[in-house]
Amino acid sequence: MYPVEYRYTREHEWVSVNGKVATVGITDYAQHELGDIVYVELPEVGTRVEAGQPFGTVESVKSVSEVYSPVTGRVIEVNAELTSAPERINQDPHGTAWLIRVEMENPGELDALMDATGYQNYIAEQQKDTTA
């Protein structure tokens, strides 16, 4: 369910890396928790983002949530299609509904993120905590 080649944050973002370029999105768990997504606010190309800091928001019929960058660097591309079709995040959160692409300054930051198994265990713990 969660791509094994991705890395994951505790705030439910994923990152896929190709060289020095990190593609960032929100996880299937996050989109499911948010519900129907109706609006996305993303940074402009050229914006500097920092690991662990918010770079945009995702708004659903239930709430507005900040999205956090898993890496530090400059935004080199935004998924402009999401501006007119934010519901794509609900349809394909780990694929075509990526949010931003960042040229990373410090690829070593990826070491602090979870792999797919670690993330699935983290979600299981989160769900256990909310039902306890």
Model confidence over 24-79: pLDDT tens digits?
A: 999 999 999 999 999 999 999 999 999 999 999 999 999 999 999 999 999 999 99
Mean pLDDT of 120-127: 93
Which pLDDT does position 126 carry in this prediction?
A: 85
Q: Are 68 and 55 in contact (CB under 8 A)?
A: yes
Measured over the CA atoms of residue 10, residue 14, residue 16 and residue 17, the dihedral's sign is negative
Domain hosting 11: range is: 7-131
Give residue-wise pLDDT tens across range 25-35: 999 999 999 99
On whether residue 81 sits in a domain, the answer given is yes
On whether residue 99 sits in a domain, the answer given is yes
N-terminal to C-terminal alpha carbon distance within the chain: 25
Burial of 11 (0-12, 13-18, 19+ CB in 10 A): middle
Counting the structural domains of the chain, the total is 1
Which pLDDT does position 128 carry in this prediction?
A: 83
Enclosing H/E stretch for 117: helix 116-131
> Does the pLDDT of residue 130 top 80, yes or no?
no
Give residue-wise pLDDT tens across range 76-91: 999 999 999 999 999 9
> Does the pLDDT of residue 132 top 70, yes or no?
no
On whether residue 2 sits in a domain, the answer given is no
On whether residue 119 sits in a domain, the answer given is yes
Mean pLDDT of 86-97: 97
This prediction's pTM: 0.95
On whether residue 113 sits in a domain, the answer given is yes
Structure tokens at 132: 């306890």
What are the residues whose beta carbons fall under 8 Å from the beta carbon of 40, sequence distance 6 or more? Answer: 56, 57, 58, 59, 82, 83, 86, 89, 99
CATH number of the domain bearing residue 67: 2.40.50.100
